[in-house]
Amino acid sequence: MNLCLTTPAPSPDRSVAFLTRLGFAPIREDSRLMTDGAALIDVDPEPRARAGVRVWRGALDAAAGETLDLHGTVAFEGGRLVTAPSGVPVWVMDTPGPDLELAPRGEVLGNYAGVSLETPSLARSVAFWAGLLGLEVAAGGADQGWVTLRRPGMVDLSLMGPLACPHSFANPSFTYFNGGRNPEVLDAIRTRGVEIFEEVGAKDGAPAENAILREPGGVGFFVFND
């Protein structure tokens, strides 16, 4: 099961138009879930919607109940809401989740690398996601200011520690890594009329090799070379 991000969309057409320019499309004609073949986002028009992470019962670890009890939840119709140590709301749905066979297309944004969160405590965040989804540390460490969490069948979740990122960070964000072809990817994004929120790495008159995008509801997109 893929990690899904949620975005508040009081005017859904704005979010849908932005995502469509980046190669996203609804998973079904009647669904507000959109994907580019790899990343998954819920365009939520409800007034109480917030930028966050959505997970379904089918993705939970066997011990997830203990983590939810420890952090405290608020019930809503269809699930429970818990706040991760990063401050990001996590919508835990009672249903198994959509039956999707996602296949990365890389048509616009390139190589999908997973979801990124910034957190004031790497240790607390690692414990939270390990308990909720069974994710394990695959790279990085507290001494490096970042950690990548992984589980078979799920995209990576990258956690950045406080003051570790020297650029804008939207919680939560999608991350795409494209190596040396990233300038071409950024050119294609500009051609599609997508506004660049922040350019990273421009120097000596050369164009930026990395860029950060912001979807209208606040979800970020890191489109980086590594």
Predicted confidence band at 100 (pLDDT cuts at 50, 70, 90)? confident
Per the DSSP assignment, residues forming a β-bridge with 75 are 80
pLDDT at 106 over 80: no
The pLDDT value given to residue 208? 83
Mean pLDDT of 99-106: 74
pLDDT at 101 over 80: no
The pLDDT value given to residue 1? 58
Question: The domain 4-93 is classified under which CATH number: 3.40.50.720, 3.10.180.10, 2.60.120.380, 3.20.20.300?
Answer: 3.10.180.10
* pTM of the shown model: 0.94
Q: What is the CA radius of gyration of the chain?
A: 17
Higher pLDDT, 207 or 108: 108
Predicted confidence band at 128 (pLDDT cuts at 50, 70, 90)? very high
> Quick check: 223 and 187 in contact, CB under 8 A?
no
* Least confident piece of the model among 30-44, 83-97, 190-204: 190-204
Q: pLDDT averaged over the chain?
A: 93
Find which of 99-103, 151-155, 210-214 is predicted with most confidence, using mean pLDDT.
Answer: 210-214
Query: Could you give phi then psi for residue 88, rounded to 5 degrees?
Result: -80, 130
The pLDDT value given to residue 163? 86
pLDDT at 78 over 80: yes
What are the sequence ranges of the domains in the chain?
A: 4-93, 112-224
CB burial of 86-124 (b: ≥16 within 10 Å; e: otherwise) equals bebbbbbbeeeebeeebebebebbbbbbbbbbbbeebee
The pLDDT value given to residue 146? 95
The pLDDT value given to residue 131? 97
CATH superfamily ID and name for 112-224: 2,3-Dihydroxybiphenyl 1,2-Dioxygenase, domain 1 (3.10.180.10)
Mean pLDDT of 153-173: 93
Mean pLDDT of 19-42: 93
Mean pLDDT of 29-57: 94
Q: CATH topology of 4-93 equal to that of 112-224?
A: yes
